[in-house]
Structure 1
Amino acid sequence: MTSAPTWTIAQVADEFGVTHRTVRHYEDLGLISPERRGTQRVYHRRDRTRLSLILRGKRLGFPLEEIRTIIDLFDAPRGRRTQLEYVLGQIDERRADLEQRLRDIQDAIAELGEFERRCREDLDKLA
C-alpha cells in the first residue's frame, strides 16, 4: 500500500511562489494545519488545496477573514443553501468592487491621455 504524497514547507513555498514565513503565517492564523513530526511540518494534499484557495482569494482582493469563512465552507458538508448563497454573495460583492476598480483605472488612463495631449500641444506651441 502506498501512502499519500506529502510535501515539506520548502516544497510548498516554492510551488506556490511564497516565502516560508508566509506559509507559517497562514498556519499561525489556522488557515492551514500541517502535520507536525517533531519540528518538521508535513503538508498533505488538503493543505496544498487550502493554500491554493488562500492565495487565489488574496489575488482577488478578499481579506483573510473572508477567505477563512469561504474555505471553511468548503470543509463543511456540501449543498447547504445558506452556505452557497453566502459564497455567491461574496463573489457578487468582489466582482462589483473589481468592476468599479477597472472603470476607475480606465477613467484615470483616459484622463492621463488627455493631459498628455494638452501638454504636447502646449510644448508644440512653445517650439
Structure 2
Amino acid sequence: MAERLDFKQMCARFEVTPRTLRHYEYIELLFPEREGRARFYGPREIARMTLILRGRKFGFSLEEIRQWLELYDRDPEGRTQMQVWIDLADRQLSELAERRRHLDEAITELTALRDGVRRDLDAKG
C-alpha cells in the first residue's frame, strides 16, 4: 500500500509548521486528498514536498518552484521540466556565487577591522 500521511504527520516528516503546510496548499504547491475536514498526502504530494523544500534550500522562490512543478503534468517525458531546471539552476548558481563573493569581502573586511582593533587594544596594554 502506498504511503499516506495525515496533516500532522506531514508537518513532522518535513519539519514544517502547520502554517507553512497550509500556505503551500493555498498557493497550489500541494493538493492533499480531503476526507471531511481531514487532509491526507500520498506519494505524489510527499515527492512534491521534497522538491519544494530542496528548491527552497537552493534559494528558489515559491513561484519558481510552483511553475517548475506545473511542467511535470504538461510534459510526460520531462524534457521541458529538465531544461527549465537547468536554466533555473544556472541562474541560481550565478546568484549564489555573487552572494559568496560579497560574503568573502565582508569576512575579509571584518577580520581586518577586528585585528586592527585588537592591535590597538594590545598597544594600550
Q: Same fold (TM over 0.5)?
A: yes
Give the corresponding residue for 2:94.
Answer: 96
Question: Over the residues paired in the alignment, what is the CA RMSD in angstroms?
Answer: 1.4
How much has 1:83 moved relative to structure 2?
4.0
Distance 2:2 2:121 in 1: 68
Q: Deviations over 1:50-74 (max 9, x none)?
A: 1111111111111111001111223
SS at match of 1:42: strand
SS at match of 1:61: coil
Distance 1:79 1:8 in 2: 29
Task: Indicate conservation of the 8 Å contact 2:4/2:40, yes or no.
Answer: yes
With structure 2 as the length reference, what TM-score do the two structures score? Answer: 0.91
SS at match of 1:78: coil
Alignment identity in percent?
41
With structure 1 as the length reference, what TM-score do the two structures score? Answer: 0.90
Structure 1 portions without partners, runs of 5+: none
What amino acid does structure 2 have at the position aligned with 1:36?
Answer: R
Runs of 4+ in structure 1 off by over 3 angstroms are none
Task: Indicate conservation of the 8 Å contact 2:68/2:85, yes or no.
Answer: yes
How much has 1:79 moved relative to structure 2?
4.2
What amino acid does structure 2 have at the position aligned with 1:91?
Answer: A
Structure 2 portions without partners, runs of 5+: none
